[in-house]
Amino acid sequence: MGKTQIIEKLFLPILTYSFLLPVVVSLVCFNKANPKHILLIIGVYGITFFFLNAYFEELVAILHRSLYYFIYTLTEYATFASLLFINIKSKRAKLFGVGISILFTIFLYLIDFVVRFRSFDSIAIATETLILLVFAIYFFYEQFKDASSLYIYNHYCFWLTIGILIYLCGSLFIFLYADQITPQQKSQFWFFTYVVEIIKNLLFAVAIILYSRRSNFKPKKIIVPYLDLKEL
């Protein structure tokens, strides 16, 4: 067994169980967070992808590879897009995002079931990355334009977005060339996709903590002394 295979076997279980970290943090912070929809979205995402990764071979045998990757990519996209949409303020941008998401779902279906990929849906992942990158840039644009957002790193969605970008952009080129490189080259570099996804799951956990703290934050009332100008 080569060195890269040992590294891959080491990181794969770490990656699989790292999906449960945001779930555990969500459960710990559940009573503190309000509203709770962010925790529910991330919690369902973590549990779903834990099972999709832990039982990969069994699920591929039952569902077939095309259906497995369709569910995997669509669920991932829906989760990331939902988290970004919730924090984007512009109604026009949200409406545009919904339209693009519908088109992406149709495109993903065609790629997976009509065109069919050889072994990996590289085109679908590249398209997903491009769309989510546009949403992420628009989120940052709104935040920097908002004068009240002095410290963007205190916003929980900042860490969600950074995690999503690290994962998608960090693994994009490996996914793009997955069908073109040899099995030896794939085993040499594939573990890097595990690393960036583990980082993403860690940042999701950080985002949940910040979200629960924000929910409990109550700004102090500034007491202004009463001045009776008539007495002056």
Which of the pair, 34 or 229, is modelled with greater confidence? Answer: 34
Q: Cα–Cα distance between 60 and 164 in angstroms, integer?
A: 25
The mean of the pLDDT values for the chain is: 86
Which of the pair, 26 or 112, is modelled with greater confidence? Answer: 26
Radius of gyration of the chain, Cα coordinates, nearest whole angstrom: 21
Check residue 120 and give its pLDDT: 66
The closest alpha carbon to 26, from 206, 214, 216, belongs to 206
Q: Do the beta carbons of residue 101 and residue 81 sit within 8 Å?
A: yes
203-227 pLDDT per residue, tens: 999 999 999 987 654 444 444 455 5
- Poorest-pLDDT segment among 35-44, 111-120, 192-201: 111-120
Which of the pair, 130 or 229, is modelled with greater confidence? Answer: 130
Q: Cα–Cα distance between 137 and 164 in angstroms, integer?
A: 12
Res. 55: pLDDT tops 90:
yes
Res. 3: pLDDT tops 70:
no
Question: What DSSP letter does each residue of the chain carry, written as one string?
Answer: --HHHHHHHHHHHHHHHHTHHHHHHHHHHTTT-SS-HHHHHHHHHHHHHHHHHHTHHHHHHHH-HHHHHHHHHHHHHHHHHHHHHHH---HHHHHHHHHHHHHHHHHHHIIIIII--SSS-HHHHHHHHHHHHHHHHHHHHHHHH-TT-S-GGGSHHHHHHHHHHHHHHHHHHHHHTTTTS-HHHHHHHTHHHHHHHHHHHHHHHHHHHHHHHHHH--PPPPPPPP--GGG-
97-145 pLDDT per residue, tens: 999 999 999 999 998 888 866 566 788 889 999 999 999 999 999 988 8
- Poorest-pLDDT segment among 3-7, 128-132, 191-195: 3-7
65-106 pLDDT per residue, tens: 889 999 999 999 999 999 999 999 999 999 999 999 999 999
Check residue 218 and give its pLDDT: 46
pTM: 0.87
Res. 173: pLDDT tops 50:
yes
- Poorest-pLDDT segment among 15-19, 31-35, 126-130, 137-141: 31-35
Check residue 223 and give its pLDDT: 47
